[in-house]
Homo-oligomer: A and B are copies of this chain.
Amino acid sequence: MGMDERKYRILQAIIDDYILTAEPVGSRTISRKYDMGLSSATIRNEMSDLEELGYLDQPHVSAGRIPSAKAYRLYVDQLLESGRIQAADEPSVRAYFEGRARQMEDVIDHAAQVISNMTDYLAVVLPPSGRQPRVRTIQLVPVGPGSALVVVVTDSGIIRDTVIPYPGQLDNDSLYDISRRLTDEIAGHSLQEAGTIISGMIGRIHENESFLSSLGTFFQDRTDPKARRHVAVGGTSKMLTYPEYADRDRIRSLLSLVETRDRLASIIAQNGNVQFTVRIGPENGIPEMADSSIVTAVYSTRAGEQGTIGVIGPTRMRYSRVLSVLTAMGQQLSELFGAGDVLETPEAAEKTHEKE
């Protein structure tokens, strides 16, 4: 007994129906709604086979069948192989970004909103990271007595800033001078290297030792992989519409996952270099998420950094829809972060220029 064409069509119909209704689907439903040209009895036989093959589960004897994780896996694999994933929604994704979003964090927040609006699932967007960005400029800006704002511009265009103390006797001009000298030293190096270089300067330059040491630790902090990153989330409340999250404990664990951004980020973060990751139910390895699926995709920046966008939803997810939305959004974000300046959409830049 193998998996022939007809079995697959029936399985597909069952999956489609279950994704739609979230209710166990019976043989009668299939033969009626998805006119297969087969009677319910025949379907029943096939379903029995499919169950034996591990593609269907039966909650109890007198209920219909439910697709197993294995069935979804087959379904998704076929989907991915067939190349039927089209960024069909690209125009509408693009429309969402028309003349909007300036700062990186705004873009990311907005992207999460858009994804969740288009899919009706929980959307997560991680900022670009991974590759060690290289320093382009460092600039110190006086903030108050005894403290300066450090602005580091990297080749990925991302600005990291923190206030550090500095000896009060420095005025604006000397700060600028210092900034220039520092830039000369560390430009082109990674943040980590920059930290080492600056720490190394402490011996050589005897003035402002404490200041240099603060600056050194600043770079070290920024290199820390545990450093909190902004994680954008959208559509949490959408999850409440799905019956699989009717259980309070389940909502609870989902909510607290969303609340602890670190954990959420580590779950969504992609490891490999693949375009998509689809983890169905138990595959995701998170006990309390055994009947949730996680789909992620990658986007990249001009500087070669990678970011991840992801969707979390019930196992009976509209995978096809999700994959196509993620594709479109991945393209859009890559474009946004790759084409023009990282911190500005092409549109926004254009709009500003029109005023000339």
Which residues of the other chain, B, contact A234 by a CB distance below 8 angstroms?
259
- A 206-226 binary contact with B (CB < 8 Å = 1; else 0): 000110011001000000000
Contacts A161-B159, A237-B256, A240-B251 given; does A147 touch B355 at CB 8 Å: no
Which residues of the other chain, B, contact A164 by a CB distance below 8 angstroms?
352
A352 to B216, CA, bound (A): 11
Q: Within A263-306, which residues are at the interface with B (CB < 8 Å)?
A: none
* Residue A143, interface by CB 8 Å: yes
Contact A356 B151 (CB under 8 A): no
Contact B240 A252 (CB under 8 A): yes
Residue of B nearest to A106 (CB): B228
**How often does this chain occur in the complex, in copies?**
2
> For the complex, would chain A's binding face be called helix, strand, loop or mixed by DSSP majority?
mixed
CB distance from A109 to the nearest CB of B (A): 9
Which residues of the other chain, B, contact A74 by a CB distance below 8 angstroms?
none
CB distance from A187 to the nearest CB of B (A): 11
A52 to B123, CA, bound (A): 51
CB distance from A120 to the nearest CB of B (A): 13
* Residue A67, interface by CB 8 Å: no
Q: Which of A23-31, A319-327, A336-344 contacts B (4 or more CB under 8 A)?
A: A336-344
Contact B237 A259 (CB under 8 A): yes
A97 to B209, CA, bound (A): 28
Question: Apart from A165-B344, A217-B352, A236-B259, what 16 extra A-B contacts exist at CB < 8 Å?
Answer: A102-B163, A103-B161, A139-B139, A144-B153, A144-B342, A147-B341, A147-B343, A147-B349, A149-B153, A165-B349, A172-B180, A210-B356, A237-B252, A240-B251, A240-B252, A240-B255
